[in-house]
Amino acid sequence: MKYKNALDILPPDLVEQIQSHFKGGLMWIPCAKDHFRERNELIVSLVKQNVSVPEVARLAQVSERWVWELVRRSKNARTGTEQN
């Protein structure tokens, strides 16, 4: 993740409004949920197509552990089971 200066990407009036709530420092702004849903579906799809987990993790810029977690969740969703 790369840091960006808010003044370089947001309108000045929006920066002022943010500053009225946040006095300074680092702020993380998450991506839209649709982005993660689509990415996660692609990860599971690639694993189902026999792309190796290390390769999928590298391509998606996530950990191998997260790839396995998504595969597990996908299997549980299909079978209607829930495991921790």
CATH number of the domain where residue 43 is located: 1.10.10
Asked if residues 72 and 84 have their Cβ atoms less than 8 Å apart, the reply is no
Q: Which residue has the higher pLDDT, 39 or 33?
A: 39
Among 31, 66, 32, which residue's Cα sits nearest to residue 47? Answer: 66
| pLDDT score of 78 | 82
14 found inside a domain: yes
18 found inside a domain: yes
Segments forming the whole domain that contains residue 16 = 6-79
33 found inside a domain: yes
| pLDDT score of 84 | 56
Q: How many domains does the chain have?
A: 1
| pLDDT score of 36 | 87
pTM: 0.60
84 found inside a domain: no
